[in-house]
Amino acid sequence: MESNVWGLPCSLSSTQAPSISSTKLLRDANKHHTPFRTPPTFNPTSFTHQFIHSLPNNLSRETLQERAAELEEKVRLMMNGTDMKPLSLLELIDDIERLGLFFRFQDWINKALLRLVSIENFKHRTTKSLHETALVFRILRRHGFHVSQDIFMSFKDEEGKFKAEISNDVEGMLSLYEASYLTLEGESLWEANEFSRTHLMSLMEERSMDAKMAEKVRHVLEGLPYHKSCCRLVAQHYINTYDKAEPHNLLLLELAKVEFNMEQSSYQNELKELSRWWWDIGLSGKLKFGRDRLVEIFIWAVAIYPEPQYAICRKVMSKIGILITFLDDIYDIYGTLDELELFTNVFESWNVNFINTLPDYMVLCFLAIYNTVNGLAYDIFKERGINCLPYLTKSWSDLCKAYLQEAKWFHNKIIPPFDKFIENAWISSTAGFILTHTYFLITEDITEQVIHSLTNNDHDLLRSVYTIFRLSNDLGTSKDEMERGETSNSIVSYMHETGLTEENARQYFKTLMEKEWKNLNKYLIMDSIFPKSFVQFVINLAGSGHFVYQYGDGFGRQNDITKSTIKSVLMYPFQLMCHDDVQKIKF
C-alpha cells in the first residue's frame, strides 16, 4: 500500500488534519529589527537540496533483499551447526552487533546467551582469559543479564587492585576498557577504566603491539567506547577492518556489506522524501537566520533509530528536529523578549486565532509546526486509536517556556545557579521532547505512568539521559557561546557558582556524565515502567549526543569528522562479491 509523508498507509492520510497555509503570508519574514543577540557565524550546510537529490541510488533493492536472505540462511546454518566454545560464541555475537546485523540475529543471540549462562559452573570458571571475562561481562550486561563485577576477582590482588602482570595483555586490556563502561554506580570496576586506558597508551608509546592492533587501540581510545557509540554510524569502519582481523567470517562480512548497502539505499530514499517536504514548506528560504541542517538531523535520527523497521521514527524525528532547530534559533538569536513572550503564549494555547499578535516570521514558524504536529497526531490516532495531541502540544509548550527562560537570563544578564539551569535544561535539551514523540510512535502498550513521567521529568532514567544530552551539547558548543557572552550555559553557571576554571568545570562535567551513564546502565538489567525497547532508545539518544558534540559543535559548525561520517553513511556503498564467489565460500 502506498504511504503518506509519515510512512503510514494512505488510508490513514493526515490531509484531514487541521491545516492552515503559510504561503499566503507574502511579506518578507526577514525584514526585522536587529537580532536579539549577535548572530553566530554558522556556515551554510554542505548537504543542500541539490546534494540530496543527486545521491545515486542505482542498486536493485529486490536483488539485494534476495542476496541478504540467502546469506542470512547460510550464516544461520553455520551458527546452528557449530558447537562453539564460549569465547568463540561471544566474539561472534560481538562481530554481528558491530557489523550492524543484530536485528537479523536477535532471536539467535538471545537463545545463545541463555545457553551460555546456563552452562554448569560457567559463572565460577577461573580459567577464562581477561579478554573472555571482559566480553562475558560486557555482552551479558548489555543484553540484560545480571553478572557480578566479581567475575574479575582472579585478575586482582589481595588489595583489590588489578594485577600488574595483566597490563601487557593488549587484547585483554582493550576488552577490559570497553567493559568498564557497563559499570553501575557504586561498583569498583570503574577503576578498570583508568587502569586499562593508562596501560594501553603506554604500550602504544612503547610500540609494544603490531601495527593492526595499535590502530585498533588508537581508534577505540580516541573515539567513543562501543557502548556509547551509534552502531549504524560506526558499522562501516568495522566492516572495513573486519577482514583484516583473524579469524573472520567471509559470509558474515558479505551479509554486512549487503545490509549496509540496502540501508544506505533506504536512507537515501527517506532523505529525498524529507527534502521534498522541507522544500515545499519553504521555511529555510523565508527565515534565513535559521540553521538549515536537514541532513545532519536525519543522520542524528539514524543514530537513534538505526534499524530498518524504524523508518517512520527517522522521518518523523527529522521533521520535528528541523522545526525545533528553527524554533531554537528564534529564541536564541532573533526574537525580542516581547515577541518571545507572545510566541510562547501562542504555543501554550495551540490556537491559530492568536497568531495575529505575532510578527510574520513567527507566524510562519508556528504554522509549519502546527500543521506538522496536528498531522502526526491525526495519523497516530487513525492507526492506533491513541489521542496523543494533548501530550505532544504540551511538550512543544514546555520547550518554548524553557527557551524563553534562557532568553530572559541572557537579556537580563543573569547567570543562573547550576542546579536551576540544569532543571530548565532538562527540557531545553529536547531529549525529553524526542522521547515523548518516540513513545507514541513505537510503544505497543501505552501507560499513564510512563506518560506522566515523560511529561513531568520525574524519573531518574529520564533525568540521567537529559543531563548527558545537555552536558555533551554544552561541552561541544560552550566555547563559542562564551565568546558571544552567553549566560545560559551550564559551564558558565558552574564556573560562576564554584569559582573553578573552565578546564576544571569541563572535567567535572565528564565525571558527572559518567555517573549518569552508570545510572542508565542499571536499566539494562532491571525492570522498570519503561519497555526494554524504549530503554535502548534512551541509550541511543545519550550516545548520539556524544557523537555529535565529541569534537566540538558537529551540528552547527559541521566539522570535518561529522561531514565524513555523513558521506560514509549516505554516499559510498560497498563493492559486493559476485554470486558464484559467494557460493564457493565454505562454512
Which triple of cell numbers denotes residue 128?
577464562
Whether CATH 1.10.10.10 fits 61-256: no
451 Cβ neighbours under 8 A, 6+ residues apart: 391, 439
Torsion on CA atoms 578, 584, 585, 586, rounded to nearest 10:
170
Residue type for position 517: W
Nearest by Cα to 14 from 307, 284, 316, 297 = 316
pLDDT at 252: 93
Is the bond preceding residue 247 a cis peptide, omega within 30 degrees? yes
User: Nearest to residue 95, comparing CAs of 233, 258, 245?
Assistant: 245
Q: Are 131 and 172 in contact (CB under 8 A)?
A: yes
Q: How many CB atoms lie within 10 A of CB 107?
A: 8
C-alpha to C-alpha distance for 547 and 562, rounded to whole angstroms: 9
CATH of range 282-570; options 3.40.50.620, 3.40.50.2300, 1.10.600.10, 3.60.70.12: 1.10.600.10
pLDDT of residue 554: 63
Domain boundaries, the chain: 61-256, 282-570
What would the grid cell of residue 42 be? 554558522
Long-range Cβ contacts of 448-454 (<8 Å, 24+ apart) = 449/529, 450/529, 450/530, 450/534, 451/391, 453/529, 454/391
Q: CB of 177 within 8 A of CB of 200?
A: yes
Tell me if 322 sits within 8 A of 297, measured CB to CB: yes
Question: Which residues 6+ apart lie within 8 Å of 36 measured at CB?
Answer: 333, 334, 335, 336, 337, 340, 407, 411
Is there a contact between 576 and 504 (Cβ–Cβ < 8 Å)?
no
Distance CA 389, CA 396 (A): 11
Phi and psi at residue 12, to the nearest 5°: -110, 35
- CB contact burial 45-55 (16+ within 10 A = b; e otherwise): bebebeebeeb
Task: Compute the distance between CA of residue 265 and CA of residue 262 in angstroms, rounded to an integer.
Answer: 5
d(CA 349, CA 107): 47
C-alpha cell at 125: 570458571
- Per DSSP, the residues of 223-244 read S--GGGS-HHHHHHHHHHHHTT
Query: Residue 20: its pLDDT value, please?
Result: 43
Note down pLDDT in tens along the chain; length 587 residues.
334 434 333 333 333 334 444 444 434 444 455 555 555 556 778 888 888 998 887 777 788 899 999 999 988 888 887 778 889 899 999 999 999 999 999 999 999 999 888 874 555 555 589 999 999 999 999 999 999 999 999 999 999 999 999 999 999 999 999 999 999 999 999 999 999 999 999 999 888 788 888 999 999 999 899 999 988 888 989 999 997 777 678 999 999 999 999 999 999 999 999 999 999 999 988 988 888 999 999 999 999 999 999 999 999 999 999 999 999 999 988 999 999 999 999 999 999 999 999 999 999 999 999 999 999 999 999 998 999 999 999 999 999 999 999 999 999 989 999 999 999 999 999 999 999 999 999 888 899 999 999 998 889 999 999 999 999 999 988 776 666 666 668 999 999 999 999 999 999 999 999 999 999 999 999 999 999 999 999 999 999 999 888 776 667 666 777 888 889 999 999 998 887 676 767 65
Nearest to 160 by CA among 191, 185, 132: 191
The answer to whether the CB of 225 falls within 8 A of the CB of 193 is: no
Task: Check residue 184 and report its DSSP letter.
Answer: P
Q: 403, 386, 388, 307: which is closest to 347 by C-alpha?
A: 403
**Residue 276 C-beta-side C-alpha neighbours within 13 Å:** 9
User: Tell me, what DSSP letter sits at residue 556?
Assistant: T
What ranges in 81-190 are assigned the alpha helix state H?
86-98, 106-118, 130-142, 170-180
Phi and psi angles of residue 162, each rounded to the nearest 5 degrees, phi first = -65, 140
**For residues 441-468, b (16+ Cβ closer than 10 Å) or e, as one string?**
bbbeeeeeebbebbeeeebebbbbbbbb
Determine how many CB atoms are found less than 10 A away from the CB of residue 213: 16
* Alpha-carbon span 323 to 294, nearest angstrom: 10
Of 145, 155, 222, which is closest to residue 189 (Cα–Cα)? 155
Question: Of 253, 231, 263, 260, whose CA–CA distance to 78 is shortest?
Answer: 253
Tell how far CA 1 is from the center of its chain: 30
Beta strands per DSSP E along 338-386 = none
CA 564 distance to own-chain centroid:
17
Q: What is the pLDDT of residue 480?
A: 67
Q: 61-256 with 282-570: one CATH topology? A: no
Running DSSP on this structure, what letter comes out for residue 24?
Answer: T
How far apart, in whole angstroms, are the C-alpha atoms of residue 451 and residue 73?
Answer: 41
Q: What's the pLDDT at 177?
A: 97
Residues 6+ apart with CB under 8 A from 530: 450, 461, 523, 538
Give the pLDDT of residue 249.
87
User: 527: exposed, middle or buried (C-beta count within 10 Å: 0-12, 13-18, 19+)?
Assistant: exposed
> Using only C-alpha atoms, what is the Rg of the chain?
25
Does residue 265 contact residue 59 with C-beta atoms inside 8 Å? Answer: yes
Give the 3-state secondary structure of residue 162: strand
Stated as kind and residue range, the H or E segment containing 102 is none
At residue 4, the pLDDT reads 40
